[in-house]
Amino acid sequence: MLFWTLFSRTFLLSAFTVGGGYVIVPLMRKTFVEKLAWIEESEMLDLIAIAQSSPGPIAVNTSILIGYKIAGVPGALITLFGTILPPLIILTLFSYVYHIIRDNKIMRALFYGMSIGVAVVILDAVTSMATTIVSKRKILPVFMMIGAFILAITLNIHIVVIILSCAAIGILVTLLASWRERKNQNAGTAP
């Protein structure tokens, strides 16, 4: 019964929520914190923070954490299964339909128009994210953003290289900052 509830709740959320992780995750919180009261509010916020820090889709990560919190590793597998099943079914069906409709002229016009809409939506999201980074008024992140962009569009550098080097810079800067903090504290407490 517990496993069935875990499965059916995550399956329904994944099957009927359009808009990706940023919409699904708040609904998961509502379901498991408010309706079922299986997870406490503060713990749910921590789980979402972990989900956002991990690679992969945030909705998938959150569902794994909810399942793990409630029923251990078997629970994590059940909620993961519930979350990935709807896209698997829907997109497999779509890929068969796609073969039939893709050369239809009206469908082509529809998809062409929608691709302009997709470009609008993606570049709108990018503008908001870039504004957030610039508004913090720190030089390094802005420099990294511009550098990564130039590397990505002009040179044929593998994205993995860009991602890993930026992650390494972030870790180094954080380690340096905490080391300096500790040194200052030591200097401050020294007689």
Q: Which stretch binds another protein (CB under 8 A): 1-9, 26-34, 139-147, 179-187?
A: 139-147
**Could you tell me if residue 80 is left (phi over 0), alpha (psi between -120 and 50 degrees) or otherwise beta?**
alpha
Residue 20 in contact with residue 59, Cβ under 8 Å?
Answer: yes
Exactly one of 35, 37, 55, 139 binds another protein (CB under 8 A); that residue is 55
Residue 7 in contact with residue 41, Cβ under 8 Å?
Answer: no
Of residues 21-50, those binding another protein (CB under 8 A): 21-22, 46-47, 49-50
Which amino acid type is present at position 21?
G
Exactly one of 3, 5, 71, 87 binds another protein (CB under 8 A); that residue is 87
Exactly one of 44, 60, 70, 78 binds another protein (CB under 8 A); that residue is 60
Of residues 155-184, those binding another protein (CB under 8 A): 158-160, 162-163, 166-171, 173-175, 178
CB of 191 to another protein, least distance (A): 29
Binding mask 95-134 for another protein (x = CB under 8 A): xx-x---x--xx--xxxxxxxxxxxxxxxxxxx-xx--x-
Residue 169 in contact with residue 144, Cβ under 8 Å?
Answer: yes
CB of 112 to another protein, least distance (A): 6
CB of 82 to another protein, least distance (A): 12
Residue 11 in contact with residue 59, Cβ under 8 Å?
Answer: no
DSSP conformational letter for 149? H
Joined tokens for residue 170: 């972030």
CA distance 147 to 162: 10
